[in-house]
Amino acid sequence: MAQALFQSSFLACSDLSSNSSKGSDIFGSQLRSPEIELSQLRFLSCYKRNPTLRLKALMESPGLAQDTVDDKPKVTRMIKEVPDHFKELKHRFLSFKKDKYLSNLEHYNGLAEAQVPKFMVIACADSRVCPSSILGFQPGEAFVVRNVANLVPPHENGPTETNAALEFAVNSLEVENVLVVGHSCCGGIKALMSLEDEAISSSFIKNWVIAGKPARLQTKAVASDLNFDQQCRHCEKESINRSLMNLLTYPWIEERVIRGKLSIHGGYYDFTDCTFEKWTLDYKGSTMLSESSCSIKNREFWA
């Protein structure tokens, strides 16, 4: 056991050593000198101090993993499961490389130089609503940011990764369309609708979805006669429109909308019946309405 541990830790340490070939010779020998004992202790110490090294050694030696992590069954399970998942991902990646990348090499070489996407997409982090899967975006076609409940906070809320992505997509990439995609059965919207009024929480989720509070209030105002699930469906769409209006609170977005360089769209993907609803913000109409209202145009229903 000790010898196995020593050998594996040395292999993992080899990229840190300037004399790995000498070490291999030593390990191939059955001789045990004081110098070797000292080396074993040094590498054992290195192995124990370095979590990355320990993990690497475990992954490279399944038998060793069993011997050394008996006191941590969760780590053992993770090591057993990960290779199967990545075997499938490796297969998919190599298929992508063969069937798409190498078959369209000129296109991908162009993408290596620059990206010119027409769309900026803001979608939910939910694993069922990947915009590239349901709308067929190919590499280079859409600059995407995903967050819980596909929310766009107003400008006054300050920096988030979502408006950082927006700033780059609008000002640097000069995308022509911003599309906010909501979806059915959204857990983030359910969390928003479940918020206690004015409750202070340490939950990151609650403190994020609170940005959609106006949509929640609007839903409660107009759909109070519906049951909770129906209110959530209503809020899923209401929050999209609130996000479209929030986009206009960013001066550099509104300016491009006014100049006709940028269009703002909403989308709603219902995965219970696989339908997609799409609409476009009517800027002139919206500015004539009250602050809480949104005028839309070009509504389409894809079924």
Residues contributing to the site for Zn ion (CB under 5 A): 124, 126, 186, 188
Pick 188 or 266: Cβ nearer Zn ion: 188
Residues 122, 152: Cα–Cα separation, whole Å: 8
CB of 301 to Zn ion, least distance (A): 20
* Integer Rg of the chain from CA: 27
Q: Is 294 annotated as a binding residue?
A: no
Residues 6 or more apart whose CB falls under 8 angstroms from that of 105 comprise none
Residues 6 or more apart whose CB falls under 8 angstroms from that of 171 comprise 252
Pick 124 or 294: Cβ nearer Zn ion: 124
CB of 166 to Zn ion, least distance (A): 19
Pick 36 or 130: Cβ nearer Zn ion: 130
The answer to whether residues 183 and 270 touch, using CB atoms and an 8 Å cutoff, is yes
The answer to whether residues 60 and 11 touch, using CB atoms and an 8 Å cutoff, is yes
CB of 148 to Zn ion, least distance (A): 7
Amino acid at 128: R
What are the strands of the beta sheet with 275-281, ordered from one edge?
142-147, 119-124, 177-183, 263-270, 275-281, 296-302
CB of 122 to Zn ion, least distance (A): 12
Pick 124 or 253: Cβ nearer Zn ion: 124
CB of 182 to Zn ion, least distance (A): 7
Q: Is 124 annotated as a binding residue?
A: yes
Nearest Cα neighbor of 253 from 159, 162, 187, 177 is: 177
Pick 153 or 188: Cβ nearer Zn ion: 188
Binding residues for Zn(2+): 124, 126, 183, 186
Binding site: which residues? Answer: 124, 126, 183, 186
